[in-house]
Structure 1
Amino acid sequence: MKKQSYLEYGSVVGERYRIVRTLGTGGMSSVFMAEDLKLPGKQWAVKESVADPQMMKLVRAEAEMLISLSHPRLPGIVDFFEHPPSGAVYLVMDYIEGITLEAYMKGYQGHIPQEQIVPLALQLLDVLDYLHTRQSPVIYRDLKPTNIMLTPEMEFKLIDFGIARSYKAEMNQDTVKLGTVGFAAPEQYGAGQTDARSDLYSLGALLLYLCTGGKYSEWTAGVEGYIRGELPRHLIPVIRKLLRHHPGERFQSAGEVIGELRRSADFQSAQQGVSVGDASIEYGGTRVVAVLGVSSGSGATHTAIAVSHYLARRSRSVALVELHSTAKAFARLQEVVNGVPVGRASSSRRFEVDGVHYWRQTSRADVIALLGGSYQFIVLDLGSGQDNERLEEFLRADYPLVVGSGAEWRIQDIAGLSRSLQRHPQHKWNYCLPLAASEAVRRLRKELDHDQVFALPFHSDPFEQEEEMDQVLDEMFRGAIPDTRKKRFGFLKRSHR
């Protein structure tokens, strides 16, 4: 039974948070948007729970659990207090702007773009892996469309930890049987204790729900006929295994599912012959271009910017991501674009230049989130170096670009990189040599036995269109995009004003 809330518009709780409006209500809780009286302009979500003493233990446990967590897919907790006279407990957390996945699905009549399903799964697996691998594993137990928020930047976040619990190995079964019918694992109804595999079952139910346009979340006879035909077929066995009745027959960890999805996606790409030089390429979701410099100063960032604006001029939606946390190039660019003094870059990591969304000093988790968005191309500026995180993103990209010096005495740097990574398939790689002579390109093509080696012409302003550069990029991306032009961004002219 729903408990009556003690809050209304204008109420102040904790002598700091003034209620603005109701965001949602549940069995024993209500969530409100509140403005911060001490930080003008700041908004929070305030969760009010009113329950009997026994259920209140769950509320306190939720607060303690959330306070201990820190992950970009989870809301941050900033305050927690009780109001003994009313018996209410208040949890103050980040206000997440956006809509639930359920509401987002309704906007597409249940058929969200198929290219968003695997990236969504990877985002959810990322946060589940974080929860499940903590020293005291956290089992979410209520993964469903109404508990997943989608932000305007197409980032997914888990909300409502009301029935999450810590896993205790010595227990045979849960003391409280809770969950949402259709998405909860069988063991949540008394068959045993829930563990990480229970959340993986719920993920399978959620994926099946998305793949059938909201019609099914349980694997029953004939369900295959309702799975959307345009979906990647490798998803079907993954979903089927996630939904096994017995936990021992499912995937055993979120990391195992992540590996399976990535292997399947790579296999599908290879089978379809997806490569930069393949004229049969058709756009089918977000494509990733990864730009890696052979050494510092080789021009990776310059090339990444030029490629991004080339793609944007051809009516592509593009995100340019700086995937190395110590880099300062994008911060300086943001200062120039915003017209602020050096060292005064905005707290926002995203800014825009002529339709290209720049993301400075971005984490791998953010890249996974962006893959679930509406971008047609994501260009990763990996800088130089081969740490595991950046190298993995380079190897996984649809269009890996290696940038090396075009100087005669540095040409062998690229050949050396290729030899050091020879255990990895290199048929998709593209080698870029700024200002290299045609003879140097010819020799490197012969040495590598690889046609995708290009000399990049002099291009002082990577934001501006330059005909020779466009010709090279047209060849590099031949067949991948239509030839549609956009206006240019005069960076050099603006920066000298």
Structure 2
Amino acid sequence: MMNQPSHLEFGSIVGERYRIIRTLGSGGMSRVFMAEDLKLPGKQWAVKESVADVKMMKFIRTEAEMLISLSHPRLPRIVDFFEHPPSGAIYLVMDYIEGITLEAYMKGYQGYIPQEQIIPFALQVLDVLDYLHTRQLPVIYRDLKPANIMLTPDMEFKLIDFGIARSYKDELDQDTIKLGTVGFAAPEQYGTGQTDARSDLYSLGALLLYLCTGGKYSEWTTGVEGYIRGELPRHLIPIIRKLLRHHPEERFQSAEEVIGELRRSADFKSVQPGKSVSNDSIDYAGTRVVAVLGVSSGSGATHTAIAVSHYLARRTRSVALVELHSTAKAFARLHEAVEGIAAGQASSSRRFEVDGVHYWRQTSRADVISLLGGSYRFIVLDLGSGQDNERLEEFLRADYPLVVGSGAEWRVQDITGLARSLQRHPQRKWNYCLPLATSESVRRLRKELDHDKVFALPFHSDPFERDDEMDQVLDELFRGVITVARKKRFRFLKRQR
């Protein structure tokens, strides 16, 4: 609540023009009212009344002058500004933005923002932050939080309170005033340094985490992974983690950089077959997830996951292979073989390495989310043949879902059965792999599924080793994602033609 008593009430007239209708909200130094315009009948404005002692008046005037100089569709437009010296009050008249605060929306809708609206929301906020940060004298907002964002009926977001914003000054080492909302403010806002554009980007990360956990978390703490909504786009997670780095130099350095990352990540998911993407694009787009699900026990899911992981490691390096079921034994046996010890004597560490691939045995979903914030280009999930909720959810969320089914003629129908059982889910990005299948089986399955991404996997006795035939199939499967290096011809061969 406002610390100072207000001088306005219902029916009060401000500036001989604005009649107060009702209170919209209040804070520590101000209160906002809805007012009707007596000169423009039917027009409504928001009137912000700030009452403070003499020491704070300069601070409030600075905010008013700054707001008047700004012009952006996601900021309130200032149409009038005046002081009332006898009472020590300053009044700002600005656009009235219809809607509710994001904080109120989250409380009213059980902490739920539709997943398809989260990235557009982030881009809207970044748009206005980029505008503020690139002024001739950069403006740092410093209080990005749900209560300061208005959600309009058209699901557009606007910033509504500049109470603690400041202009960035190169010569300062620290902020003069330490302000910000706990949980959303960057660490440097509490005295460790001067706030700059990266401070607002930290707050954006806190805001996105708040949305992704249904309002439960705004700081990356132990266990937060378990509260991130399962249906969200995967590429958001490493972006949020980088935004929330404690040290500013470890975060994104500008709003423009975050915008580029979000757009590249989204574009990466929609690359069309035949369109090449450079290795640099893969690096920048963050970690990609390949999920391998067996139709039935013994269909070859683990074998295929290993082959895919080592293929990707040879092409791009930095690959993790995750065994996402707690009762599986395959990786434990492999770990023992790698360490050359007796059964049951492997080290307690769940991670081990084989030819550049990091194997993670008996891993939980929370661990997978943690790995997404790391430096892996690809994470391959070995889901086995189970279809419990957790593993099915990971399969459906993956960037590249791979279904592995038997190539035997009499078992091909197992795949169509799985597709029918999950027909309520979009399946266009699914890939179907049939070990040892004939070309006729592949052709028939493509027709039955009305899907062209069906592949016959050749005999490959050692999935850890390179195999030319297997590489050809995987080159086709990951076409448009992995740039396949072509051998250069010697000049003398060209001259012979």
Distance in 2 separating the partners of 1:173 and 1:94: 33
Which residue of the partner structure matches residue 88 of structure 2?
87
Q: Deviations over 1:78-121 (max 9, x none)?
A: 00000011111100000001111111222320021111100000
Query: How far is the alpha carbon of 1:271 from its aligned partner?
Result: 7.9
Judged with a 3 Å threshold, the aligned counterparts in structure 2 of structure 1 residues 177 and 272 are, in CA distance, closer, same or farther, namely farther
Which residue of the partner structure matches residue 101 of structure 2?
100
Distance in 1 separating the partners of 2:254 and 2:92: 31
Q: Deviations over 1:49-79 (max 9, x none)?
A: 1110111222101100000000000000000
Q: Deviations over 1:419-468 (max 9, x none)?
A: xxxxxxxxxxxxxxxxxxxxxxxxxxxxxxxxxxxxxxxxxxxxxxxxxx
Distance in 1 separating the partners of 2:174 and 2:135: 20
Q: TM-score by structure 1 length?
A: 0.54
Query: How far is the alpha carbon of 1:222 from its aligned partner?
Result: 1.8
Which residue of the partner structure matches residue 41 of structure 1?
42
Distance in 2 separating the partners of 1:168 and 1:194: 10
Distance in 2 separating the partners of 1:272 and 1:265: 16
Structure 1 residues 69-88: aligned runs within 5 Å: 69-88=70-89
Structure 1 residues 2-151: aligned runs within 5 Å: 2-151=3-152
Q: Which amino acid aligns with 2:169?
A: K
Q: Deviations over 1:137-176 (max 9, x none)?
A: 0000000011000111221100110000000011000000
Partner SS state of residue 55, structure 1: helix
Partner SS state of residue 237, structure 1: helix
Partner SS state of residue 270, structure 2: helix
Structure 1 residues 255-266: aligned runs within 5 Å: 255-266=256-267
Q: Which amino acid aligns with 1:99?
A: I
Distance in 2 separating the partners of 1:176 and 1:271: 51
Query: How far is the alpha carbon of 1:270 from its aligned partner?
Result: 2.9
Q: Which amino acid aligns with 1:174?
A: D
Distance in 2 separating the partners of 1:101 and 1:58: 27
Distance in 1 separating the partners of 2:45 and 2:253: 37
Q: Which amino acid aligns with 2:133?
A: H
Root-mean-square deviation (Å): 1.5
Q: Deviations over 1:378-431 (max 9, x none)?
A: xxxxxxxxxxxxxxxxxxxxxxxxxxxxxxxxxxxxxxxxxxxxxxxxxxxxxx
Distance in 2 separating the partners of 1:178 and 1:35: 33
Query: How far is the alpha carbon of 1:272 from its aligned partner?
Result: 10
Q: Which amino acid aligns with 2:108?
A: G
Which residue of the partner structure matches residue 241 of structure 1?
242
Partner SS state of residue 225, structure 1: helix
Judged with a 3 Å threshold, the aligned counterparts in structure 2 of structure 1 residues 273 and 32 are, in CA distance, closer, same or farther, namely farther
Which residue of the partner structure matches residue 152 of structure 1?
153
Which residue of the partner structure matches residue 173 of structure 2?
172
Q: Which amino acid aligns with 1:40?
A: P
Q: Deviations over 1:287-338 (max 9, x none)?
A: xxxxxxxxxxxxxxxxxxxxxxxxxxxxxxxxxxxxxxxxxxxxxxxxxxxx
Distance in 2 separating the partners of 1:177 and 1:107: 32
Partner SS state of residue 82, structure 2: strand
Structure 1 residues 198-237: aligned runs within 5 Å: 198-237=199-238
Tell me how many residue pairs correspond in the alignment. 274
Distance in 2 separating the partners of 1:273 and 1:150: 41
Distance in 1 separating the partners of 2:272 and 2:232: 15
Is this contact kept in 2: 1:17–1:36, CA < 8 A? yes
Is this contact kept in 2: 1:58–1:162, CA < 8 A? no
Is this contact kept in 2: 1:141–1:163, CA < 8 A? yes
Q: Which amino acid aligns with 2:166?
A: R
Is this contact kept in 2: 1:29–1:47, CA < 8 A? yes
Is this contact kept in 2: 1:33–1:45, CA < 8 A? yes
Q: Which amino acid aligns with 1:184?
A: A
Q: Which amino acid aligns with 2:101?
A: T
> Which residues of structure 2 form unaligned runs of 5+?
276-497
Distance in 2 separating the partners of 1:174 and 1:245: 17
Is this contact kept in 2: 1:131–1:137, CA < 8 A? yes
Structure 1 residues 76-475: aligned runs within 5 Å: 76-270=77-271
Q: Which amino acid aligns with 1:220?
A: T
Which residue of the partner structure matches residue 470 of structure 1?
none
Distance in 2 separating the partners of 1:272 and 1:113: 29
Runs of 4+ in 1 over 2 A off after TM superposition: 269-274
Judged with a 3 Å threshold, the aligned counterparts in structure 2 of structure 1 residues 271 and 217 are, in CA distance, closer, same or farther, namely farther
Rg larger in 1 or in 2? 2
Q: Deviations over 1:220-271 (max 9, x none)?
A: 1221111111001100000000000000000000000000000001112238
Distance in 2 separating the partners of 1:224 and 1:272: 33
> Which residues of structure 1 form unaligned runs of 5+?
275-497
Identity of aligned residues (%): 87
Is this contact kept in 2: 1:211–1:228, CA < 8 A? yes
> Which range is displaced more, 196-205 or 153-162?
153-162
Partner SS state of residue 201, structure 2: helix
Partner SS state of residue 90, structure 2: strand
Distance in 2 separating the partners of 1:112 and 1:135: 35
Q: Which amino acid aligns with 2:125?
A: L
Distance in 1 separating the partners of 2:150 and 2:273: 33
